[in-house]
Structure 1
Amino acid sequence: MSFLDRIEERPGAAELRAASYRMLALKRGATCVDVGCGAGQAVAELARKGLKVTGVDADPDAIEVARERAPGAMFHVAHSGDLPLEDGSTDGYRALGLFHLLDDPAPTIAEAHRVLHPAGGSWSAGRTTASS
């Protein structure tokens, strides 16, 4: 897991995460899913801000580390195109560092729209490197 931690510690990574949180614009108590959450750095930070966060990643080893990092959050091992969440169940969707890795982003985008609350859900997506 040191590779994922090194990505999160690169110059500008904390600022990029903070910018993604601002784009979500969620208030304390809101629900948020972090898809492609890796080792759970953002899940832990969002939980400390008072959000109810669910982390999702296809890598079970990353989820194991994430559970230790953010013990109060919910985690699932799943693919971004098949989320184990109810329709309209989340106020925010975050996928920072996911879409550029996908061969076909359409199923993942469809899942984002499916799980976001229809009355104004917000989302934040992009790359994980500060130079992007």
Structure 2
Amino acid sequence: MPAYDQTRARIEDYFDRTATKTWERLTSDAPVSRIRETVRAGRDRMRALMLSRLPEDLRGARILDAGCGAGPATIEMAQRGAQVVAVDISPQLIDIAKRRLPTDLHKQVQFRAGDMFDPELGQFDAIIAMDSMIYYTADDIGTHLAALESRVSGPIVFTVAPRTPALMAMWYAGKAFPRSDRSPVMIPHAHPALARAAKDKGVRSTLRPVDRVTSGFYISEAMELRA
């Protein structure tokens, strides 16, 4: 999958070369700009929404945190009793997540730097992927949902950038004016087209929209694949 591999390489380069310090502050209690405060608040709301799709008691469950970043969702799922496999493309973000993990949860979390879709990660009871699939095409997302479907007994909860006029304008601007130091461009998706792409790739379960979170400069939509 050359398109997927190229996008993944750009994301890894961006987070390890440009954005690590920004994301370390954004995902902490450190003071940030007013704009980033809206992003932080939006991400907090989205994380709570996604985790609400999982049982409160996760003892005995093995969960993949795909694109775990600095690890806030990893911590909460481990606190609920889950065994968490926390994967991120950025080794530097994995290092931050390791440092932030409370000592009493170390035995419940396995960290990996690399491809969040690696089949060698094994089988899971649930998968969450918060804002880690927002850079990929519908075909790429459909392909990976089809592969993940056979490896999970419960829901796959993930986010996409919704196809709104504002985000579409940003998307086209990003294509017209590429800069080597800018973040990878999000690809907006509408649920019907994404559901069709998933079905075309062999996904059997139903892909449903959950809810949308808008907070200033943060806008993201949660989707759920569940049999």
TM-score of the aligned structures, taking structure 1 as reference length: 0.80
For residues 23 and 69 of structure 1, the distance between their equivalents in structure 2, rounded to whole angstroms, comes to 24
Partner of 1:125: 158
Partner of 1:98: 132
For residues 120 and 143 of structure 2, the distance between their equivalents in structure 1, rounded to whole angstroms, comes to 14
Partner of 2:58: 28
Say how many residue pairs are matched. 127
**For 1:1-132, what aligned pairs fall within 5 Å after superposition?**
1-5=20-24, 6=26, 10-25=40-55, 27-29=57-59, 30-70=61-101, 72=106, 73-86=109-122, 89-103=123-137, 104-117=140-153, 121-127=154-160, 130-131=213-214, 132=219
Q: 66-75 vs 102-111, which deviates more?
A: 102-111
Which SS does the other structure have where 2:81 is aligned? Answer: coil
Q: CA RMSD in A?
A: 2.4
Which SS does the other structure have where 1:81 is aligned? Answer: coil
State whether residues 24 and 124 of structure 1, in contact with CA within 8 Å, keep that contact through their aligned partners in structure 2: no
State whether residues 65 and 87 of structure 2, in contact with CA within 8 Å, keep that contact through their aligned partners in structure 1: yes
Which SS does the other structure have where 1:99 is aligned? Answer: coil
State whether residues 58 and 77 of structure 2, in contact with CA within 8 Å, keep that contact through their aligned partners in structure 1: no
For residues 72 and 57 of structure 2, the distance between their equivalents in structure 1, rounded to whole angstroms, comes to 19
Cα deviation for residue 82 of structure 1 reads 2.0
Aligned CA distance change for structure 1 residues 27 and 93 (closer, same or farther; 3 Å) = same
Which SS does the other structure have where 1:47 is aligned? Answer: helix
Unaligned regions of 5+ residues in structure 1, if any? none
Cα deviation for residue 105 of structure 1 reads 1.9
State whether residues 56 and 80 of structure 2, in contact with CA within 8 Å, keep that contact through their aligned partners in structure 1: no
Task: Give the number of the structure whose residues are more often helix, by fraction.
Answer: 2
For residues 101 and 31 of structure 1, the distance between their equivalents in structure 2, rounded to whole angstroms, comes to 26
TM-score of the aligned structures, taking structure 2 as reference length: 0.49
State whether residues 36 and 56 of structure 1, in contact with CA within 8 Å, keep that contact through their aligned partners in structure 2: yes
Aligned CA distance change for structure 1 residues 14 and 31 (closer, same or farther; 3 Å) = same
State whether residues 26 and 91 of structure 1, in contact with CA within 8 Å, keep that contact through their aligned partners in structure 2: no
For residues 63 and 56 of structure 2, the distance between their equivalents in structure 1, rounded to whole angstroms, comes to 8
Bigger relative contact order, structure 1 or 2, given CA contacts below 8 A and separation 6+?
1
Cα deviation for residue 22 of structure 1 reads 1.0
State whether residues 27 and 70 of structure 2, in contact with CA within 8 Å, keep that contact through their aligned partners in structure 1: no
The structure number with the bigger radius of gyration is: 2
For residues 75 and 83 of structure 1, the distance between their equivalents in structure 2, rounded to whole angstroms, comes to 15
Unaligned regions of 5+ residues in structure 2, if any? 1-19, 29-36, 162-211, 220-227
Aligned CA distance change for structure 1 residues 123 and 59 (closer, same or farther; 3 Å) = same
